Chains A and B, each alone.
With several copies, the nearest count.
Chain A
Amino acid sequence: MSLSKFQIAKRIAQELQDGYYVNLGIGIPTLIANYIPENISVVLQSENGLLGMGPFPFKENVDSDLINAGKETITTLKGSALFSSAESFAMIRSGRVDLTVLGAMEVAQNGDIANWKIPGKMVKGMGGAMDLVASAKNIIVAMMHTNKKGQSKLLPNCSLPLTGQHCIKKIVTNLAVIEIVDSKFLLKEYAPGVSIEQIIDSTAGELIVADNVCQMKID
């Protein structure tokens, strides 16, 4: 009864606030765009040079000169702005992006994140992830609680090469919403049908259960 990736996206969409500028990473984060509450307006930043990313185009409107950072064809919206990669990362580094959501291989209880390299395997590169985690004011990690082998991805320390240090404050997984406070994982919400014991068992790092822990509200 853990969450699907769509439900993880839905839960994170609840974190959005009116007027937010948001950068969504590849994978689950991208799905969040589908669940933006109708009563607020947020602007999506694509780090390859677009502010105000629209939905995928209709077939007849596909434009090879208009892609997102995941290299998918997209559209602009009224009010969009186009710019260079240098300008794009100027925005990111100067902290103008209100919320960054990205995936991770590992998150440590001190806020470290690893999501770009597995030693011994083919390394494709960090893309914009290191810039994003180094500068974002507000980062949420969207990921499965455990990896394909069933091992916890919430660790006392990251074992993989880091993407960024002490930068993660919130994690939304298929099992739980967890904050990082005082270098410990703090369980704030559990997924419907998931027990706190199951979350404790699935978390290798030190996990504290918040006094006001509650069940996630997901349709």
Chain B
Amino acid sequence: MKKVYKNAEQAIFDVEDNSTIMLGGFGLCGIPENLISALVKRGTRGLTCISNNAGVDDFGIGLLLKTKQVRKMISSYVGENAEFERQLLNNELEVELIPQGTLAERCRAAGAGIPAFYTPSGVGTEIAQNKEKRIFDGKTFILETAFKSDFAFIKAWKGDTLGNLVYKGTARNFNPMMATAGKITIVEVEHLVEVGELDPNEIHTPNIYVNRIFEGQNYEKRIEKITTQ
């Protein structure tokens, strides 16, 4: 059962139009650069993307927006790019905004076999409209459901050929939960290592969640805001 693929193009061979795809990353940190590029090249359309952010004009999910491959974004914070705003205002793009913690937890629930859970986030706001409310210990909560997705596109720092993953720094962010939540989880790593090279005690994503893995190329790892002392 080989999980290792040669590159991003081969790893996304069966991603069809109108798929729902989760993409790891926070801002441009920890995003699956190779998989996004391959998806642009493949030209798959009508995508629903679940991702905390939507990239910038010429990088990250912004690249998929430019080519109009995205039908809907499910995110907590968007609009760092002009093309996104243009499409949204022209009704060319659907956007569903979700509190960041709820976004993370709905991914986690999907990967944990939990179909729904109660959360306090958004109570008393428009997020709670049309959602079931319930009081526990005198506090109001709303019911949120697990996401469903066809694919999860994940970026890790190191991964072994069996699919065990280690992330680096804050590039971890949404990647671990999304890795558990895709019907098919495809991972790009900066360093693909042999089985046995990662310490079993230090693995962030156990191999059972990973369906496909490859070593990415030409990482740009762009920084949105370089701030220094």
Interface residues of A (CB under 8 A from B): 18-19, 21, 41, 43, 45-52, 55-59, 62-74, 76, 78-97, 112, 122-131, 134-135, 161-166
A78 contacts B170, C-beta separation under 8 Å: no
Whether B172 sits at the interface, judged by CB under 8 Å, is yes
Q: Could you say which residues of chain A place their CB within 8 Å of the CB of B97? A: 123, 125-126
Whether B48 sits at the interface, judged by CB under 8 Å, is no
B29 contacts A65, C-beta separation under 8 Å: yes
Q: Could you say which residues of chain A place their CB within 8 Å of the CB of B177? A: 84-86
Most chain B beta-carbon neighbours within 10 Å: one of A62, A68, A85, A89 = A85
Interface residues of B (CB under 8 A from A): 1, 26-30, 52, 75-80, 85, 88-89, 97, 99-105, 107-108, 110-114, 119-127, 157, 160, 162, 164, 168-177, 180, 195-196, 200-201, 203-204, 206-209, 221-229
Most chain B beta-carbon neighbours within 10 Å: one of A45, A46, A67, A81 = A81
Q: Could you say which residues of chain A place their CB within 8 Å of the CB of B160? A: 79
A93 contacts B121, C-beta separation under 8 Å: yes
B223 contacts A83, C-beta separation under 8 Å: no
Chain A at the B interface: SS class: loop
Q: Could you say which residues of chain B place their CB within 8 Å of the CB of A70? A: 225
Please judge, given known A-B contacts A50-B170, A84-B176, A93-B113, whether A57 and B228 are in contact too, CB under 8 Å: yes
Q: Which residue of B lies closest to A52 (CB)?
A: B200
Number of A-B contacts (CB under 8 A): 231
Nearest-neighbour CB distance to chain A for B155, whole angstroms, equals 10
A125 to B122 CA separation, bound complex (whole angstroms): 12
Q: Could you say which residues of chain A place their CB within 8 Å of the CB of B99? A: 126-131, 134
Q: Given A125-B77, A161-B126, list of 16 further CB < 8 A pairs?
A: A18-B1, A52-B200, A56-B227, A56-B229, A64-B222, A65-B30, A71-B28, A79-B196, A85-B101, A85-B174, A88-B104, A89-B101, A89-B113, A123-B97, A125-B78, A126-B76
A51 to B75 CA separation, bound complex (whole angstroms): 23
Q: Could you say which residues of chain B place their CB within 8 Å of the CB of A66? A: 169-170
Q: Could you say which residues of chain B place their CB within 8 Å of the CB of A82? A: 169-170, 172, 200-201, 203
B206 contacts A83, C-beta separation under 8 Å: yes
Please judge, given known A-B contacts A43-B208, A85-B100, A126-B97, whether A48 and B26 are in contact too, CB under 8 Å: yes
Q: Can you offer 24 A-B residue contacts whose CB atoms are under 8 A?
A: A19-B1, A50-B200, A65-B170, A65-B171, A65-B221, A67-B223, A71-B224, A85-B174, A86-B108, A86-B112, A89-B100, A90-B111, A90-B113, A91-B208, A91-B209, A93-B112, A94-B113, A122-B85, A123-B97, A124-B79, A125-B97, A129-B99, A130-B127, A135-B113
Please judge, given known A-B contacts A84-B173, A131-B100, whether A71 and B225 are in contact too, CB under 8 Å: yes
A58 contacts B125, C-beta separation under 8 Å: no
Q: Could you say which residues of chain B place their CB within 8 Å of the CB of A79? A: 160, 162, 164, 195-196, 207
Q: Which residue of B lies closest to A165 (CB)?
A: B124
Query: Pick the contact of A72 from B78, B89, B107, B225 — CB < 8 Å?
Result: B225
Please judge, given known A-B contacts A91-B208, A134-B120, whether A128 and B170 are in contact too, CB under 8 Å: no
A93 to B172 CA separation, bound complex (whole angstroms): 20
A67 contacts B224, C-beta separation under 8 Å: yes
Please judge, given known A-B contacts A85-B173, A127-B76, whether A93 and B101 are in contact too, CB under 8 Å: yes
Q: Could you say which residues of chain A place their CB within 8 Å of the CB of B101? A: 47, 85, 88-89, 92-93, 128, 130-131
A142 to B88 CA separation, bound complex (whole angstroms): 31
Q: Could you say which residues of chain B place their CB within 8 Å of the CB of A47? A: 100-101
